[in-house]
Amino acid sequence: MSVTVTDATFQRDVLASVKPVLVDFWTDWCAPCKPLGVALDELSSEIGDKVVIAKVNAETSPGITSKYGVRGFPTLLIFKDGQVAASRSGAMPKNKLREWIEASI
């Protein structure tokens, strides 16, 4: 299962993580965010030993959303060693999402 991250927990859960972390920035009103969230939950179970899947609700955590310049939803950022290693905007099928994650970590 994915981890919910907020402005208050971002440092601990994402930047200080020993594993790569995929952060999904989403909102309640974003239609493509819902199926992407389901695919990410499934991938968390399948490849969670390689990468942490984290979700940030952009409306309730505006600080971190703004810090990383997220303006469109969904936006995915992969962090390695506390730095953004890859980014992607928009939804994609689960198989393409998995390929992108595995190539980026």
Is 54 catalytic? The answer is no
Q: What percent of the chain has pLDDT over 70?
A: 99
Instruction: Tally the domains of the chain.
Output: 1
CATH number of the domain within which 94 lies: 3.40.30.10
Per-residue pLDDT for 1 more than 90?
A: no
Tell me, what's the pLDDT at 2? 84
CB 72 within 8 A of CB 55: no
Q: Are 31 and 82 in contact (CB under 8 A)?
A: no
**Do 50 and 105 form a contact (C-beta atoms < 8 A)?**
yes
Residue among 21, 23, 30, 52 flagged as catalytic: 30
95 is catalytic: no
pTM of the model: 0.95
Phi, psi for 63 (deg, rounded to 5): -65, -55
Residue 98, domain extent: 3-104
Q: Would you give the DSSP letter of residue 4?
A: E
Marked catalytic residue, from 23, 33, 39, 101: 33
pLDDT digits (tens, 9 = 90+) for 11-55: 999 999 999 999 999 999 999 999 999 999 999 999 999 999 999
